[in-house]
Amino acid sequence: MLEELKKAVCAANLDLVAKGVVIYTWGNVSQIDREKELVVIKPSGVSYDYMSSKDMVVIDLNGNIVEGKWKPSSDTATHLELYKAYPQIGGVTHTHSTNAVAFAQAGMSIPALGTTHADYFYGDIPCTRELTQQEVEETYELNTGKVIIETIGNNDPLKIPGIIVKNHGPFAWGIDAANSVYNAVVMEKVAEMDIKTLLLNPNSSMSQYILDKHYMRKHGPKAYYGQK
């Protein structure tokens, strides 16, 4: 079932390791088949060193295992909340990448300070509020998804395709699994750039017109970056 999707999701998970944003088992990627309303996701705690497409788990939107020999990722409920809230999202990635986590632990958004950021994220990458004790103790992963949705609100999630959960770490998304990994890697890189920039000049900023220009030339109605 969904064999090609399993291969794509497995490849996306392995790409996290190749890009240096994940070590050990510190991450997970999923992708949804909207027509079938099924999600393929990485299994919980399985080493990347030996992981193959056969290890991927197929679940429905209620988190029930449809196919697979392993338990799905412990962050499954978070992924599912995002898929249910935003039909634009086709893939979700979660990591514990160092620099993005630093902002999460500091409880700070990742500010848009330069054009690298503006090419992919149309504004600051927000940090959620801290979950309450009750939210953590009752249904932690589900409520993690809910606090992400609370923070995004009615905004288009693809304009700022990522977020950091306070004290936890980054989640990114995109049109599919590979695109969500791409955005997670970019998020980590711009977080690294920001930390270094803010060390040099804590008052750094970027004008809105520069943000607009760089985002719109890649994503706007008159985008001209790249080849047609």
Separation of alpha carbons 216 and 116, rounded Å = 13
Separation of alpha carbons 77 and 67, rounded Å = 17
Active site residue 124: no
Given the residues 33, 55, 119, 124, the one annotated as active site:
119
Active site residue 50: no
Catalytic positions, written as ranges: 119, 225
